[in-house]
Copies of this chain bind each other. A is one copy, B any other.
Amino acid sequence: MSQSLFEQHKETLETALNAIRTRDYYSPYPESPSPRKYGETADKDGQAAFKAHLNGSFALEMPGITGEAGSEKSPYGFDLGVQYPTVDMDVLLPAMKEAQKAWRDAGIEGRAGICMEILKRINQRSFEIGYAVMHTSGQGFMMAFQAGGPHAQDRGLEAVAYGYDAMTHAPGAATWTKPQGKHDPLVLDKKFTAVGRGVGLVIGCSTFPTWNTYPGMFASLITGNPVVIKPHPAGILPAAISVQIAQNVLKEQGLPPHIVSMVIDSDPAQPCTKELALRPEVKLIDFTGNTQFGDWLEQNCHQAEVYTEKAGVNTIIVDSTDNFKGMIQNLSFTLSLYSGQMCTTPQDIFIPANGIETDQGHKSFDEVAEALSNGITKFLSDPERAGMVLGCIQAEVTDKRVDNARELGAVVRESDRPENPWFKEARMRSPLILAIDSDKEDVYMEELFGPITFLIKTENTAHSVELAHKAVSNHGAITMGCYSTDEATLDQIEEAALDAGVALSSNLTGGVFVNQSAAFSDFHATGANPAANASLSDLAYVANRFRMVQSRKHA
């Protein structure tokens, strides 16, 4: 049966395999939540399906279920009330390990077919998952739909394509013929089997409960590893729906559904993540979250390969521009989107103290600061747009961080609390913009997660480049942006980005933003600086999730 799934999805896989090599635009999952793409009733049905989960018990099939738990709250102001099964790890993990053989024997094509069928069904439920992402992460619906739906699915498919590519690099079988001069050659028949490492653990985050979960989930699955997802306690529902879909596909194919499982904390006050991460069955760990826990995983889980995305300080170097308006508009959207709660949002914008040259003439440091402040305020002046773009603040601690950050520099723009047109209890904040001197490194070279941006007054652009390089090298970053009209300066910035190991976006003034990365084309995180030890996705992300085991005999 899974072979027929492979045939069904073969063309998509081949297109994806081509995309990861050409790095041109590709997405099989429409990013527009349009009725033309998803059906006339898709939005209504998805919203109804989301609501049907609320205040109910969510069913998953796993050996060792012990009870239920769950305490998610929508940042838009209500309790989700969903209860999810809790499990006994001593029952679940050995059962998952046991199921690995069946998953291995499904073969590369069998697993590829199943993974792609799971993704297809997840795509069909993009509205339901979009609402689940919205009401856990606090993203606006459009972003929750896109980033939590099709864009996350793209990243899942990308991981499938990389895994498939890596596993099929060597053939399943080969004949080895070694000439022996005048004698008959030596001939051996050889078999090569891709074997998973063990159980893959994916530790999710609260802000991107699917986008940051699918890559590890599908990278481990395709390469032959059962996967257990440990979602963030604040963002369980999107993962649970995804796990349920996966279990349904597995069951239909006659495979143990718990090849994809989910573990949550029975008691959120006593998180079980460390215990889970140290289980001997767990051989792969994918983690998105804070640096402290990521470092702990890297340094303590010696039984597993650990892939982490941690905190960082993203930077923008402003040197000059031939499109001042475009730059301000681009940055205004960038800083507003999801209230700066993206791992790709810039925190530090380096601007020379004596200002910059622009197509509107010289602009002083204060004029640039004011233009950015006004640009954001103008952009957010439409309450519906503000509600959609800002979304909510996911965690209370982020909300408090914004308040506390006011004292860290000179306030250029206050972070206010816009009213959400649809949800009166929504926890909303607009961007806080602070000006600060370049010598306050201890302040701005630390990640302050949330809508907090520093405009850093530097001696000149060379100084900006030096400080941005230092921020990336010492504290990590996923993105770097720059604005300059001077080729030599752009070259210097590119060299600094290469040396520090961070992705650079130059002179973005239109419909592309530094905090957005496109699957199949953009590598998300480099793995070359402290913000992450891996990239979404590349060969390194998949090649060590399986091992090749060979056998040989005389032909």
Q: Which residues of A contact B (CB under 8 A)?
A: 20-25, 101, 104, 165-166, 169-171, 174-180, 186, 188, 190, 192-193, 195, 197, 298-299, 302, 494, 497-499, 501-512, 518, 521-523, 526-528, 535, 538-540, 543-544, 547-554
Q: With a CB–CB cut-off of 8 A, which chain B residues contact A504?
A: 550-552
Kindly state the separation between the CA atoms of A540 and B501 in the bound complex, as whole angstroms: 21
Is B538 in contact with A548, judged by CB distance below 8 angstroms?
A: yes
Kindly state the separation between the CA atoms of A170 and B543 in the bound complex, as whole angstroms: 15
Is B553 in contact with A518, judged by CB distance below 8 angstroms?
A: no
Is B169 in contact with A539, judged by CB distance below 8 angstroms?
A: yes
Q: List 30 A-B contacts (CB under 8 A).
A: A20-B170, A23-B171, A23-B190, A25-B176, A25-B177, A25-B178, A166-B539, A170-B523, A180-B511, A186-B510, A193-B498, A195-B528, A197-B528, A298-B302, A299-B302, A497-B549, A503-B549, A503-B550, A503-B551, A504-B551, A505-B553, A508-B554, A509-B554, A512-B554, A522-B550, A526-B550, A527-B544, A527-B547, A539-B539, A539-B543
Q: With a CB–CB cut-off of 8 A, which chain B residues contact A25?
A: 176-179
Q: With a CB–CB cut-off of 8 A, which chain B residues contact A544?
A: 527, 540, 543-544
Q: Write the chain B residue with the least CB distance to A509.
A: B554
> How far is the CB of A520 from the nearest CB of chain B, in Å?
9
| Option from B169, B174, B528 in Cβ contact (under 8 Å) with A549 | B528
Given known pairs A176-B521, A510-B554, A528-B197, the reply for A170 and B23 (CB within 8 Å) is yes
| Option from B299, B528, B538, B551 in Cβ contact (under 8 Å) with A497 | B551
Q: A193-B498, A507-B553, A523-B550 are in contact. List 14 more A-B contacts (CB 8 A).
A: A24-B174, A25-B176, A25-B179, A188-B512, A190-B522, A494-B551, A503-B549, A503-B551, A503-B552, A506-B552, A507-B554, A535-B547, A538-B543, A544-B544
Q: With a CB–CB cut-off of 8 A, which chain B residues contact A179?
A: 25
| Option from B20, B22, B543 in Cβ contact (under 8 Å) with A543 | B543
> How far is the CB of A327 from the nearest CB of chain B, in Å?
12
Kindly state the separation between the CA atoms of A195 and B547 in the bound complex, as whole angstroms: 25
Q: Write the chain B residue with the least CB distance to A173.
A: B23
Kindly state the separation between the CA atoms of A510 and B184 in the bound complex, as whole angstroms: 12
| Option from B505, B549, B554 in Cβ contact (under 8 Å) with A526 | B549
> How far is the CB of A532 from the nearest CB of chain B, in Å?
10
Kindly state the separation between the CA atoms of A538 and B469 in the bound complex, as whole angstroms: 34
Q: With a CB–CB cut-off of 8 A, which chain B residues contact A298?
A: 302
Smallest CB-CB A-B distances: 5 pairs: A528-B547, A23-B174, A540-B543, A539-B543, A504-B551
Kindly state the separation between the CA atoms of A543 and B535 in the bound complex, as whole angstroms: 11
Q: Write the chain B residue with the least CB distance to A525.
A: B547
Kindly state the separation between the CA atoms of A496 and B528 in the bound complex, as whole angstroms: 39
Q: With a CB–CB cut-off of 8 A, which chain B residues contact A174?
A: 22-24, 521
Is A195 in contact with B501, judged by CB distance below 8 angstroms?
A: yes
> How far is the CB of A493 from the nearest CB of chain B, in Å?
9
Q: Write the chain B residue with the least CB distance to A302.
A: B299
Q: Write the chain B residue with the least CB distance to A179.
A: B25
Q: Write the chain B residue with the least CB distance to A166.
A: B539
Is B299 in contact with A511, judged by CB distance below 8 angstroms?
A: no
> How far is the CB of A302 from the nearest CB of chain B, in Å?
6
Kindly state the separation between the CA atoms of A522 and B186 in the bound complex, as whole angstroms: 14
Kindly state the separation between the CA atoms of A249 and B469 in the bound complex, as whole angstroms: 33
Kindly state the separation between the CA atoms of A409 and B188 in the bound complex, as whole angstroms: 36
Is A21 in contact with B170, judged by CB distance below 8 angstroms?
A: yes
Q: Write the chain B residue with the least CB distance to A300.
A: B299
Given known pairs A547-B527, A550-B504, the reply for A23 and B176 (CB within 8 Å) is yes
Is B553 in contact with A506, judged by CB distance below 8 angstroms?
A: yes
Q: With a CB–CB cut-off of 8 A, which chain B residues contact A188?
A: 512
Kindly state the separation between the CA atoms of A302 and B502 in the bound complex, as whole angstroms: 21
Kindly state the separation between the CA atoms of A503 and B523 in the bound complex, as whole angstroms: 34
Given known pairs A176-B23, A553-B505, A553-B506, the reply for A523 and B548 (CB within 8 Å) is yes
Is B512 in contact with A186, judged by CB distance below 8 angstroms?
A: yes
> How far is the CB of A184 from the nearest CB of chain B, in Å?
10
> How far is the CB of A368 from the nearest CB of chain B, in Å?
21
Q: With a CB–CB cut-off of 8 A, which chain B residues contact A197?
A: 528
Given known pairs A21-B169, A174-B23, A177-B24, the reply for A502 and B549 (CB within 8 Å) is yes
